[in-house]
Amino acid sequence: MHFKKNIFIYLCILFSFIQIIFAQNANYDEYIPSTNTPIKNIKLYIHVFNKDDGTGNFQNNETDHEKIKRVIIHMNDVVSNLTKPNLGIVNLIKDARIRFLCDKGMIFFHNDSYGHDFTVAKNPSLARVKSDSLYRKYIQFDNSVPKDGIHIYWGEGQKHMGQAYGIGSKKWLYQAGAYQSAKENNHWDPAALLLHEIGHCLGLLHTTEYNPPRPGNDGCDDTPTWPENTACWNGDSCTNNVMDYNACRCALTPCQLSKIHWYLNGNNKGCDIHLSVKKDWCEFDSTKNYLVSEGDLKRLEWNLKIYGNLILEKNSTFEVNGSINMPKGSKIILNQGSKLVLKKNAKIINECGDQWSGIEYIGKNGKNKGKIVGEQKQISNCINKIEFCLE
């Protein structure tokens, strides 16, 4: 279970909402993941709240760490091997190209009866007050607690209830009942709920955001909505989407996945969820080049992290209007007849405090040499000077 009241007061949700209203289901197509999309590793910090006497929840021992691990593994299994959507526009992308990281050192144990008691989960407003106060007590002012991940509170007192702070936010989410389920050897129900709540953190709304009879708009045209989606619990005619109420919570549509990657690339200025991604994009990886295929015209309106080189094949054009992060030592390779166009909002940068190498021209002496159109000020952290073409 989860709650949707009171969430629109948050700025980044507002941005998401504005996009939905005014952009008519903004097109995030360029972020639909493919097998070439670098996997985004998302850091999770779990706060296990025991009672004051240290009982009532997972313990900091090997046996219980194994049980917690099973929840994370189950979520990773789901996102790496998604199920075909039962409803909506049925189009299967198997691998979401996201994974969740939660090693032993990312799990915190607190003895605090107040934090343990999530009977309040049935009252979403009160549960928010509690969650905010736990944030102040255990996260905000404690420098030893990392801030670069999604903070998850595990309390008890209700079964399968949760709420996320906001759409596109890493601040906190709570989940009640994970331990109760683990005692019954059930790790998949907590995993399904946790994945749903993380879905909100990653930018997703419920596919039927306004319950019947009001058809909702979650900003995606390919998700199952009412009346097709009756939100029944289990079976082929029921939704199996992660962002609905159902037994499986094992499907995500291309639009939902593109939205997730749009958020994780830091495109929503009011949101911080992109800061939960492990910065493995700071390290150059030659197996993860970003390619614009021969003869293609590709447009990028948003931000993008590139993990390897940016390669424009022969006679291809890449029009950029967002910021591109180039990793340390990487190059932009321009083949003959290719063109990289830096539009008004385009920037080529390195956000990791390193330098990237510059442009390499293939077929340099031919008259059909690749070119870059833009201005010097749009490029930073580059070792070599870039030669621009005036157009």
- Measured at CB, which residue is nearest to Zn ion? 2
Residue 140: what are its φ and ψ, rounded to 5°?
Answer: -55, -45
Q: How far is the CB of 241 from Zn ion (least distance, A)?
A: 11
Nearer to Zn ion, 3 or 114 (CB): 3
Nearer to Zn ion, 2 or 170 (CB): 2
**How many other CB atoms are found less than 10 A from the CB of residue 155?**
32
Counting residues that bind Zn ion (by CB under 5 A) gives: 1
Site for Zn ion in 63-102 (CB under 5 A): none
Q: How far is the CB of 193 from Zn ion (least distance, A)?
A: 9
Give the integer Cα–Cα distance in Å for 204 and 42: 15
Which of 322, 325, 278, 328 has its CA nearest to residue 305? 325
Residues 281 and 261: beta-carbon distance below 8 Å: no
Nearer to Zn ion, 32 or 201 (CB): 201
Which of 94, 306, 362, 384 has its CA nearest to residue 298? 306
Q: How far is the CB of 78 from Zn ion (least distance, A)?
A: 16
Q: How far is the CB of 233 from Zn ion (least distance, A)?
A: 15
Nearer to Zn ion, 202 or 300 (CB): 202
Q: How far is the CB of 200 from Zn ion (least distance, A)?
A: 6
Give the integer Cα–Cα distance in Å for 92 and 336: 36
Q: How far is the CB of 124 from Zn ion (least distance, A)?
A: 11
Nearer to Zn ion, 86 or 207 (CB): 207
Q: What are the start-end ranges of the E strands in the chain? A: 40-50, 98-101, 107-111, 150-155, 161-164, 173-176, 290-292, 297-300, 304-305, 310-312, 317-320, 323-325, 331-334, 339-342, 347-349, 358-361, 371-373
Nearer to Zn ion, 4 or 51 (CB): 4
> Judging by beta carbons within 10 Å of its beta carbon (0-12, 13-18, 19+), is residue 309 exposed, middle or buried?
buried
> Judging by beta carbons within 10 Å of its beta carbon (0-12, 13-18, 19+), is residue 95 exposed, middle or buried?
middle
Nearer to Zn ion, 42 or 310 (CB): 42
Q: How far is the CB of 119 from Zn ion (least distance, A)?
A: 19
Angle between helices 62-80 and 188-201 (to 10 degrees): 60
Nearer to Zn ion, 2 or 151 (CB): 2
Site for Zn ion in 2-61 (CB under 5 A): 2
Residues 340 and 313: beta-carbon distance below 8 Å: no
Binding piece for Zn ion, criterion CB under 5 A, among 1-9, 120-128, 184-192, 287-295: 1-9
Nearer to Zn ion, 175 or 325 (CB): 175
User: Is residue 249 part of the contact set for Zn ion (CB under 5 A)?
Assistant: no
Give the integer Cα–Cα distance in Å for 67 and 183: 9
Q: How far is the CB of 204 from Zn ion (least distance, A)?
A: 9
Give bridge partners of residue 356 from the DSSP assignment. Answer: 382
Residues 168 and 174: beta-carbon distance below 8 Å: no
Q: How far is the CB of 248 from Zn ion (least distance, A)?
A: 15
Give the integer Cα–Cα distance in Å for 137 and 110: 11
Q: Which residues bind Zn ion (CB under 5 A)?
A: 2
